[in-house]
């Protein structure tokens, strides 16, 4: 098996008394797509922040692209290298873009920082990126406020891809989008993975979205991984009682909402 793009072992994050993430292992193969599934408070977003380097783990190791990033970067150069390798797309395209920069400017900024090249080369690459995510010329020259949520999320995706990362963290990146737009973005993400070989870690509470764009999944509950395996298996035959509850709660034809007790799996405490 080839070297994984991302491997984390024994990840732990404490905030004072609270253990947000407890002994989490995960592995993303080159070109793979892993879902981290869970509800608010499950620790899934904390894991994403640890991987990207927005916060440092209390314990455990994170190896991305063959290099250890468990401790904060010591130099600007190291920080930039980490940024180049792993990028993130946040949930809310209304707050994740600089309101004073057009899509072209936002992309150019990333290119200057991470890839360099002449002005003409960068302009060419900006055009390629805009085309990859389906932004037309007018949209690429517009400020975010003139664009819809779906168009903004395309910019956020293009900006993440501009650094040519090997791994993109999608933190609920399609959750705020309308159904018809969400389908466009999910298709886009699948296309990009096929074309560029980039890997994804999708943080999501939406099991249908998880099924559509990931191969493997881990299910988190109260800071811990309660189930892991191929996405299709987890959703078709969930083994842990929490995963079963999650699966049973998804509205579908013939579904009726029922009151169910939540599993009493012990939460993690320090």
Partner 1 sequence: MSALLEIEGLTARLPVEGELRPVLHDVSLSIGEGEALGLVGESGSGKSMTARAVARLLPAGAETVGAIRFDGSDVLGLRGTALRRYREQVAVIFQDPRAHVNPVRRIGDFMTETLRLQGVARGEAAARAARALRDVGIDDGERRLDQYPHELSGGLLQRVMIATVLLGEPRLVLADEPTTALDVTTQAEVMAILDELRRDRGLALLFITHDLELAAAVCDRTAVMYAGQIVETRAASLLDTDPLHPYTASLAAARPDVAAGVHRLAAIPGRPVSAFEAPAGCAFAPRCALAQDRCRDGRPALEALDDGEVRCWRAQELRGRVAHAIRGTERLHV
Q: Which residues of this protein are in contact with partner 1, per CB under 8 A?
A: 39-40, 134, 148-151, 178-184, 186-188, 190-191, 205-209, 211-213, 231-232, 235-236, 245-253, 255-260, 262
Query: How does DSSP assign 81-94, residue by residue?
Result: HHHHHEEEE-S-TT
Question: In the bound complex, what is the minimum distance in angstroms from residue 269's beta carbon to partner 1?
Answer: 18
252 contacts: CB under 8 Å, gap ≥ 6:
none
Contact between 214 and 33 (Cβ < 8 Å) = yes
- Residue closer to partner 1, measured from CB, 33 or 102: 33
- Residue closer to partner 1, measured from CB, 52 or 157: 157
- Residue closer to partner 1, measured from CB, 99 or 253: 253
Residue in this structure with the two tokens 């190791």, named with its chain if needed:
61
- The sign of the torsion formed by the CA atoms of 92, 135, 192, 129 equals negative
CA 205 from chain center: how many Å?
12
59-64/33-37 β-pairing? unpaired
Q: How many CB atoms lie within 10 A of CB 252?
A: 7
Question: In the bound complex, what is the minimum distance in angstroms from residue 170's beta carbon to partner 1?
Answer: 14
- Residue closer to partner 1, measured from CB, 67 or 262: 262
- Residue closer to partner 1, measured from CB, 15 or 255: 255
DSSP code of 269?
B
Question: In the bound complex, what is the minimum distance in angstroms from residue 69's beta carbon to partner 1?
Answer: 30
- CA-based angle 186:165:187, to the nearest 5? 10
Question: In the bound complex, what is the minimum distance in angstroms from residue 243's beta carbon to partner 1?
Answer: 11
Question: In the bound complex, what is the minimum distance in angstroms from residue 250's beta carbon to partner 1?
Answer: 5
């Amino acid at each position: 098996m080839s070297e994984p793009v991302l491997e984390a072992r024994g990840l732990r994050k404490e905030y004072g008394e609270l253990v947000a993430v407890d002994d989490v292992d995960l592995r993303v193969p080159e070109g793979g797509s892993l879902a981290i599934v869970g509800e608010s408070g499950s620790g899934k977003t904390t894991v994403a922040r640890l991987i990207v380097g927005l916060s440092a783990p209390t314990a455990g190791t994170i190896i991305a692209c063959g290099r250890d990033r468990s401790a904060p970067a010591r130099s600007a150069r190291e920080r930039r290298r980490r940024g180049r390798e792993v990028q993130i797309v946040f949930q809310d395209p209304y707050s994740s873009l600089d309101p004073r920069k057009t899509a072209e400017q936002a992309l150019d900024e990333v290119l200057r920082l991470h890839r360099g090249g002449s002005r003409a080369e960068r302009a060419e690459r900006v055009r390629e990126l805009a085309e990859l995510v389906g932004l037309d010329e007018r949209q690429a020259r517009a400020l975010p406020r003139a664009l819809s949520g779906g168009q903004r999320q395309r910019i956020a995706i293009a900006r993440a891809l501009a650094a040519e990362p090997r791994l993109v963290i999608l933190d609920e990146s399609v959750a705020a989008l309308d159904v018809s737009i969400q389908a466009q973005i999910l298709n886009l993400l699948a296309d990009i993975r096929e074309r560029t070989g980039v890997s994804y870690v999708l943080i999501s509470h939406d099991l249908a979205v998880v099924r559509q764009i990931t191969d493997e999944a881990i299910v988190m509950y109260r800071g811990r991984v309660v189930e892991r395996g191929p996405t299709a298996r987890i959703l078709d035959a969930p083994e842990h009682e929490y995963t079963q509850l999650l699966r049973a709660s998804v509205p579908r034809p013939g579904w009726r909402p029922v009151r169910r007790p939540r599993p009493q799996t012990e939460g993690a405490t320090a």
